[in-house]
Amino acid sequence: MSPVIPLRAELSGGCSQAPVLKERGQREVFCGLTGIIWLHRKVQDAFFLVVGSRTCAHLIQSAAGVMIFAEPRFATAIIDERDLAGLADCHDELDRVVNRLLERRPEIRTLFLVGSCPSEVIKLDLGRAAQRLDGIHRPTVRVLNYSGSGIETTFTQGEDACLAAWVPQMPASATHAPDSLLVVGSLPDVVEDQFARLFRDLGLANVRFFPPRHATELPEVGANTRFLLAQPFLAETARLLEARGATHLPRPSPSAWKAPPPGCRPPPRHSASPRRTSMR
Residues that bind ligand SF4 (CB under 6 A): 31, 33, 52-53, 55-56, 59, 116-117, 149-150
Specify the residue, 29 or 182, whose C-beta has the smaller distance to ligand SF4. 29
**139 prior amide bond cis, ω within 30:** yes
CB 160 within 8 A of CB 167: no
User: For residues 271 and 156, what is the distance between their CA atoms, to the nearest angstrom?
Assistant: 23
Specify the residue, 115 or 212, whose C-beta has the smaller distance to ligand SF4. 115
Enclosing H/E stretch for 226: strand 225-229
Q: Minimum Å distance from CB 160 to ligand SF4? A: 16
User: For residues 88 and 149, what is the distance between their CA atoms, to the nearest angstrom?
Assistant: 22
Q: Minimum Å distance from CB 48 to ligand SF4? A: 13
Specify the residue, 116 or 157, whose C-beta has the smaller distance to ligand SF4. 116
Specify the residue, 47 or 155, whose C-beta has the smaller distance to ligand SF4. 155
Q: Minimum Å distance from CB 55 to ligand SF4? A: 5
User: For residues 99 and 280, what is the distance between their CA atoms, to the nearest angstrom?
Assistant: 36
Specify the residue, 116 or 156, whose C-beta has the smaller distance to ligand SF4. 116
Q: Minimum Å distance from CB 62 to ligand SF4? A: 11
Q: Minimum Å distance from CB 76 to ligand SF4? A: 9
Distance of CA 215 to the CA centre of its chain: 15
Q: Minimum Å distance from CB 148 to ligand SF4? A: 6
Closest residue to ligand SF4: CB criterion: 150
Specify the residue, 26 or 140, whose C-beta has the smaller distance to ligand SF4. 26
Specify the residue, 52 or 185, whose C-beta has the smaller distance to ligand SF4. 52
Q: Minimum Å distance from CB 40 to ligand SF4? A: 16
